[in-house]
Amino acid sequence: MSAVADTGTVARGRLDLKRTAPTTNRLDRQRFHWGSVPLLAPAAVLLVVLFLAPVAYSFYLGLTNLELIGPTSRHYQFTGIDNINYLIHDVVFHQSLYLTAFFVIGSGVIGAAGIGLALALAMQKALNSARLLVGAIVMVCFMLPPITAAILWYAASTSGGSLPTLFGTSSSDFLHSAPMVVVSAANAWSVTGLAMILFAAALRNIPGEIIEAAELENSNGVQRFVRITLPLLKPTIVTTILLITLLSLANFTLVYLMTGGGPGNATMILPVYSYQQSFTFSHLAYGALVGNVMVIIATIFSALFVYFSRERRQRED
């Protein structure tokens, strides 16, 4: 009886220790130490000098009458909100906002993310040889310089190219008849590799026991995808969409080399419009203001990316 009582006492003591054990933060959780300030100071100085100061100066230039050539190229003045008033009533700027949203959502959010997820799912069941081949092709498309991608898509979509020939109208010029669709397809083609990598890594982290349990319950592939795979991929989907949005928003080279914003203003997205105003029409101040709009949009999406990344880490902890 004494031994049994002692055993019960020890068990209750262990249970009490578990209940009253102090909760400590994980060692790998981010913490701030004042001793790290001197180590971070050089990076902070570079951040201020190379990023924050130029951005602040750009916001100031957007409120001046600075021109590339002419008397105000050197002796420019602060003009208040005159440029902002012009921006609000600028029809081309409004069209540029719409085209930028179409370009980012159509080619990035829907195109690249959707195709990347489909490829990642297909490569799960594919043979190793097919997986390596498809993965290599998609990664080459992602790693190609924008100028190379622009030349390839320009040659493929103009008269006599592979796309008009494939549709049986070799004399058609898709880059003239549907320019926004072509440049959006080119952008999706170039960034799909990033989405595929992120989704493939996330799919490998899904426990196989969950899928096997669903198969034992006689669920089909669509049910497993909708009720298991898709909810588990939600953090990766959000992260991928935000990253591709930022990449697409800053994709000036591809669109400018393929169309230059034309024909007319059919592909005049914000980066191209900012460049045109600054260096084609010499309106540096107004071009800076348009660029500032892009900075604000990119900052919003960057803040969302940081927020969802932090929320994901907290959920994993």
pLDDT at 56: 93
Residue 191, token pair as written in the block? 């960034």
Label residue 2 by pLDDT band (50, 70, 90).
Answer: very low
Of the candidates 167, 194, 198, the residue with the CA atom closest to the CA atom of residue 309: 198
What are the chain's domains? Answer: 60-316 (1.10.3720.10)
- How confident is the model over 83-134, as pLDDT tens digits? 999 999 999 999 999 999 999 999 988 899 999 999 998 888 877 888 888 8
Instruction: Identify the pLDDT of residue 314.
Output: 65
Q: Distance between CA atoms of 96 and 119, rounded to whole angstroms?
A: 32
pLDDT tens-place string over residues 251-309 = 899 999 999 998 889 999 999 999 999 999 999 999 999 999 999 998 888 888 778 77
Least trusted range by pLDDT, from 4-18, 28-42, 214-228, 242-256: 4-18
Position 75 scores a pLDDT of 87
pLDDT at 1 over 70: no
The first and second tokens of residue 265, run together, are 């203003």
Mean pLDDT in residue range 44-60? 92
Q: What is the pLDDT of residue 296?
A: 92
Confidence band, pLDDT 50/70/90 cuts, at residue 220: confident
| Mean pLDDT estimate for the chain | 84
Q: Where are the alpha helices (DSSP H) in the chain?
A: 2-20, 37-47, 53-61, 82-88, 91-103, 113-125, 128-143, 146-157, 162-166, 174-177, 179-204, 208-216, 221-224, 230-232, 234-249, 252-258, 270-275, 284-316
- Could you please report the per-residue DSSP string of 130-163? HHHHHHHHHHHHHHS-HHHHHHHHHHHHSTTSHH
What are the CA-CA distances from residue 197 to residues 5, 205, 244 (Å)? Answer: 59, 13, 12
pLDDT at 31: 66
CA distances from 240 to 55, 224, 258, 309 (A): 26, 22, 26, 11
Q: Is the pLDDT of residue 76 over 70?
A: yes
**What is the rounded CA–CA span in Å between residue 85 and residue 198?**
42
Judge whether 244 and 108 are in contact, CB under 8 Å. yes
Assess whether pLDDT exceeds 60 at residue 29.
Answer: no
For residue 282, give the 3-state DSSP assignment.
coil
- Report the predicted TM-score, pTM, of the whole model to 2 decimal places: 0.81
Residue 273 corresponds to which tokens in the numbers above?
């419009």
Sign (positive or negative) of CA dihedral 241, 242, 243, 249: positive
